[in-house]
Structure 1
Amino acid sequence: MISLSYTLALVTSLLQGASTDAPQAKPQDKPTAGVALTVYSSADPASFDPQRWMQQQRQGNDNVWGVPGYGVVKVVRSVEMPKGSGVLSFTDVAAWIDPTTVAFLDLDDPKTTVIEQSFQFDLVSPSKLTERYLGRQVVIRSPIADTFSVYEGTLLSATQGQFVVQMEDGVHIVSATGAQITLGELPGGLLTKPTLNWKIANSSGGTHLTRTTYQTAGMTWRADYNLVLDGTDSAADMSAWVTLMNLSGASFMDADLKLVAGDVHRIEPQGGGSGGRMLGAPRVMAMADEGGFEEKSFFEYHLYTLPRKTDVLQNSSQQIALFPPVANFKVVKEMIFDFTGGMGVSSEPMMDRAFVFGAQGKPSVFVHFENKKDEGLGMPMPAGKVRVYKIDPADDTLEFIGEDLIAHTPRNETVRIKLGEAFDVVGERTRTDFQLDSAAKRMSETFRIEVRNQKSTTQSVVVLERMFRWTNWKIEKASAKFDKKDASTVAFSVDVPAEGKKVIEYTVQYSW
């Protein structure tokens, strides 16, 4: 039998972080029997697709260790504890359990110790069964045209898609393709479920309440948000969902469910694995309405607790509301030209006259909102994908207008979502002058930016300009007001009239 054994030698109390001399919980403080599940995720919202993983699983392509996340399972149950030395077996653990993370505690007698632990996973399968029948009598029926040939004898080998059978008239090699094999009674030592065995030392015996904790691979979650803009693009409704995936090889029925959001560090085993262990104390609690999660700060992360029990079935994905829908909160639409996007400041004065950005372009379209309580929000938002829709008044249906990713976003921060590029607003950037005085260590550059609006309404547009030639610069003159965004960027905000245009001209001087 395949087995992983770990001699624990009186360290159960260390696994639980307490000694037998520590004050024990009062009877009323004991947890009730049941299952609690905490799921950690390191999934990249841009590339992680639960349905793709489910399809691979259905096709038999097990890559569970590659699932970007893991679960921590806590099971409280009553068991018949042997008096003295004995063995306890649990057969409902996840198939992808990490046995080194198992912690066992007798809640009725903390002096109970685990002497040895083993994880047995030699499960029943066709290949395992045939391996166990080597040297034993079998009957094989192999198809030939419309009938069968029968081979009855001693099974010598079952590899490479073939059976080797010793019969009275000699040795026969039979193709396993389409063959039917009849075996005798099931040999001992085979299991139908992964099993944890503990060798226990206990002084009292009888029915005891116990708690088992372990980590398992094959579990993760992802947040998805749906944003619906109103007719004026100034307000929106939002709903948020969690997609929970379970490929751990076990179902968790009537479970208490928690999700952890944040970058939790965990030592990665070679060849895969993800997630981490965390410690800390809870702080502020944010209560969700019925159907959503309760959120609270936990150490440097955020913990989302479902205020009801749920069934988490194996080999499945399910959607659960992250928080109740939020209606009619304020959003702002932005059109932003960034002709020089991505340009950083040169490490020395860039005096090359030929280096210039002059092009036509379209503005990127964004919407942003403040994740604040007075806007009906104010709940930390886990990283995820935001899909944006708008109602078509012609038939009152939702039409998709763009999507973007957000990082983990605390409360009271701005959420900005890129939707695409404008169709009816265009711009053109032209350099109209360049002056260089090397002796005086000075140069200047003049630009003309024309923004044209072919829509039937006035459009507010922001033009970002980056002073990338050198660190010491000054805007000598400008035809429109601007704001300095950082050490090398200014923003011109202009209103472009319907079917009209707006021209921005400015001169920047560099010195060194």
Structure 2
Amino acid sequence: MKKIIFAVLLCLPILLLAVDQVTIYNDNFALVRTSLEIKLEKGLQSYLMDDIPSTIEARSVILKPLNGKIEVYSQNYEFDLAGTSQILYKYIGKEVEIITKTDQVFLGELQFNDFNTIGILNINSNKLSLIQYSEIRNINLAELPDNFFLKPTLNWQLNAPKTAKYNIDFSYLCSGMKWDVTYNSVWDETAGELEINSWVTINNETGKAFKDTKLKLIAGDVSKKQIYARGGRSNEVMYSMDAMSAKSPEFDEKAFHDFHMYTLSENVSLNNKQTKQLRLFPTKSVKAKSKYTYQTYSQDVMSKIEFVNSKKDGLGLPLPKGVVKIYKLDSDDDQLEFIGEDDIDHTATDEKVILTTGTAFDLVAKTTVLNSRKITNKVNEKDYSVELKNRSKKSKEIIITHNVNGNWTISNENIPFEKKSAYEIEFSKILKPGEEFKLTWTERISY
């Protein structure tokens, strides 16, 4: 059997060189470009390419010869992988030999195979033997059935004009590869600054390792139809951080179509079942301010930090979507403490970012409808009050937001309001330490 296999391998075209380039998108897929140098014989031949992910989208494959007029006749994606149950299924009705742990030998025609039992029809006695899997030591087969592969494989039919080495660009899409960003920030409320550093986290669940590859990341929501790929076996996930060396590789950012592209300055390896972290950009300090908001009828005043993603304020970079983790220094022991986290969407330069850290413990707000009147069948009035209390030792400004419907007018307000949209108004009140204030207004709605 070994001699036969060796002879077959000698007949296959030879892969001399393969270099990968990977572009990863936010939505769990990647574009892989591989430069192949292969040796082909003159004429029509099969080329088996098994250095591919198990999550490849076969319909996305592009094969482009760079030298010589190679003709691509056809491509087959082989994913009927060799395994015990698959092999035995194809052996039903054929002769097999089973040896048990007690050295009992069963030779006969395989009748069925389920999760627990194998059925063998004895070739001499014509009796059916039922053998438990737990009793079996060996299952001997005459040969491996046709069209079985150890790994997912692309089978190309190529026609070469002469025996030579050929360079080919091979590209495809695959699922199981994604990236996101974690922003770690330190909030200095006294200085009004938020110190931000950023980490790209890459997950490779494709079933293939990419060694010493050029890496690009695309930030943005790219339209793509969902493809349910056949996955590989699940293994333990490895974890790697590649930004702790003296000189870390850097990402070069540029606008690309309607998205943003980040290209790593050095090649990187992405092992299968690995989570890798790389620094997106150096630490930045951005001007920021605290903000407290209250939506009428809600239970709590929310604590927020707001900044503008501008170069003037210390940032001014396209920010891919991700999670912002916020810490603050405890001045008593100089230790950082976690104070909250929030998601941000893809954020262009000069856009405002608002991070919610949680609820404000010492700020209290309560909405009450004091009176409700029906003026006509199509006109109603309500008198509102919002009780505000500042139990902290610092002055705090609270932004009160109220939603309105229909054709509305506001009157009798005891502080000015701002119309934010056709359905939203906003009040603002600064409360001194220990101060209480009752905000009131009348709302008339006509339909």
CA distance in 1 between counterparts of 2:219 and 2:341 reads 21
The partner residue of 2:255 within 294, 297, 315 is 297
- Residues 78/500 of structure 1: CA separation in 2 closer, same or farther (3 Å cut): same
Query: Deviation string for 1:273-323 (max 9, x for gaps)?
Result: 9xxxxxxxxxxxxxxx94342222221222222221111111232222232
- Residues 372/33 of structure 1: CA separation in 2 closer, same or farther (3 Å cut): farther
CA distance in 2 between counterparts of 1:321 and 1:185 reads 55
Give the conservation status (yes or no) of the 8 Å contact 2:297–2:366. Answer: no
Query: Deviation string for 1:427-455 (max 9, x for gaps)?
Result: 2333445555439x766544333311111
- Residue correspondence of structure 1 range 74-223 to structure 2 within 5 A: 74-109=33-68, 111-131=69-89, 135-142=94-101, 148-154=102-108, 156-157=110-111, 159-160=113-114, 161-165=116-120, 166=122, 170-177=127-134, 179-183=136-140, 187=144, 189=146, 190-223=148-181
Instruction: Indicate yes or no: 2:423 matched with 1:488.
Output: yes
- Residue correspondence of structure 1 range 303-342 to structure 2 within 5 A: 303-326=261-284, 328-340=285-297
1:388 aligns to what?
326
Letter in 1 for 2:407: T
1:478 aligns to what?
413
Letter in 2 for 1:448: S
Identity of aligned residues (%): 26
1:152 is displaced (CA, Å) by: 4.2
Letter in 1 for 2:137: Q
CA distance in 1 between counterparts of 2:439 and 2:187 reads 31
1:76 is displaced (CA, Å) by: 0.2
- Residues 337/185 of structure 1: CA separation in 2 closer, same or farther (3 Å cut): same
- Residues 446/128 of structure 1: CA separation in 2 closer, same or farther (3 Å cut): closer
In structure 1, the residue corresponding to 2:57 is in which secondary structure?
A: strand
2:188 aligns to what?
230
In structure 2, the residue corresponding to 1:100 is in which secondary structure?
A: helix
CA distance in 1 between counterparts of 2:91 and 2:419 reads 80
CA distance in 2 between counterparts of 1:155 and 1:375 reads 79
Letter in 2 for 1:462: I
- Residues 477/195 of structure 1: CA separation in 2 closer, same or farther (3 Å cut): same
CA distance in 2 between counterparts of 1:164 and 1:188 reads 19
Give the conservation status (yes or no) of the 8 Å contact 1:155–1:163. Answer: no
Instruction: Indicate yes or no: 2:24 matched with 1:39.
Output: yes
Instruction: Indicate yes or no: 2:214 matched with 1:259.
Output: no
CA distance in 2 between counterparts of 1:483 and 1:374 reads 27
Gaps of 5+ in 2: 1-16, 231-246
Out of 223-232 and 415-424, give the one that drifted further.
Answer: 223-232
Instruction: Indicate yes or no: 2:382 matched with 1:427.
Output: no
In structure 2, the residue corresponding to 1:86 is in which secondary structure?
A: strand
1:464 aligns to what?
401
Letter in 2 for 1:163: I
CA distance in 1 between counterparts of 2:381 and 2:130 reads 88
Gaps of 5+ in 1: 1-31, 43-68, 143-147, 274-288, 342-360
Letter in 2 for 1:331: A
Letter in 1 for 2:348: P
- Residues 272/334 of structure 1: CA separation in 2 closer, same or farther (3 Å cut): farther
- Residue correspondence of structure 1 range 401-412 to structure 2 within 5 A: 401-412=339-350
Give the conservation status (yes or no) of the 8 Å contact 1:81–1:207. Answer: yes
Give the conservation status (yes or no) of the 8 Å contact 1:164–1:171. Answer: yes
- Residues 231/162 of structure 1: CA separation in 2 closer, same or farther (3 Å cut): same
Give the conservation status (yes or no) of the 8 Å contact 1:39–1:258. Answer: yes
- Residues 405/167 of structure 1: CA separation in 2 closer, same or farther (3 Å cut): same
Query: Deviation string for 1:359-383 (max 9, x for gaps)?
Result: xx43111112111123332222222
Instruction: Indicate yes or no: 2:331 matched with 1:373.
Output: no
2:208 aligns to what?
250
Give the conservation status (yes or no) of the 8 Å contact 1:228–1:238. Answer: yes
Letter in 2 for 1:429: T
1:45 aligns to what?
none
CA distance in 1 between counterparts of 2:84 and 2:96 reads 16
Q: Under a length normalisation based on structure 2, what TM-score does the superposition of the two structures give? A: 0.82
CA distance in 1 between counterparts of 2:229 and 2:144 reads 35
Give the conservation status (yes or no) of the 8 Å contact 1:336–1:462. Answer: yes
1:149 is displaced (CA, Å) by: 4.9
CA distance in 2 between counterparts of 1:446 and 1:194 reads 70
- Residues 219/153 of structure 1: CA separation in 2 closer, same or farther (3 Å cut): same
CA distance in 2 between counterparts of 1:96 and 1:510 reads 57
Letter in 2 for 1:479: N
- Residues 393/183 of structure 1: CA separation in 2 closer, same or farther (3 Å cut): farther
Query: Deviation string for 1:394-417 (max 9, x for gaps)?
Result: 333332222222222212111112
- Residues 371/174 of structure 1: CA separation in 2 closer, same or farther (3 Å cut): same
Letter in 2 for 1:493: S
Give the conservation status (yes or no) of the 8 Å contact 1:151–1:167. Answer: no
Give the conservation status (yes or no) of the 8 Å contact 2:109–2:123. Answer: no
1:14 aligns to what?
none
In structure 1, the residue corresponding to 2:283 is in which secondary structure?
A: strand
In structure 1, the residue corresponding to 2:290 is in which secondary structure?
A: strand
How many correspondences in the alignment? Answer: 410
- Tell me the C-alpha RMSD between the 2 structures: 2.9
CA distance in 1 between counterparts of 2:191 and 2:354 reads 14
- Residue correspondence of structure 1 range 24-35 to structure 2 within 5 A: 34-35=19-20
Give the conservation status (yes or no) of the 8 Å contact 2:207–2:273. Answer: yes
- Residues 158/247 of structure 1: CA separation in 2 closer, same or farther (3 Å cut): farther
1:511 is displaced (CA, Å) by: 6.1
Instruction: Indicate yes or no: 2:437 matched with 1:499.
Output: no
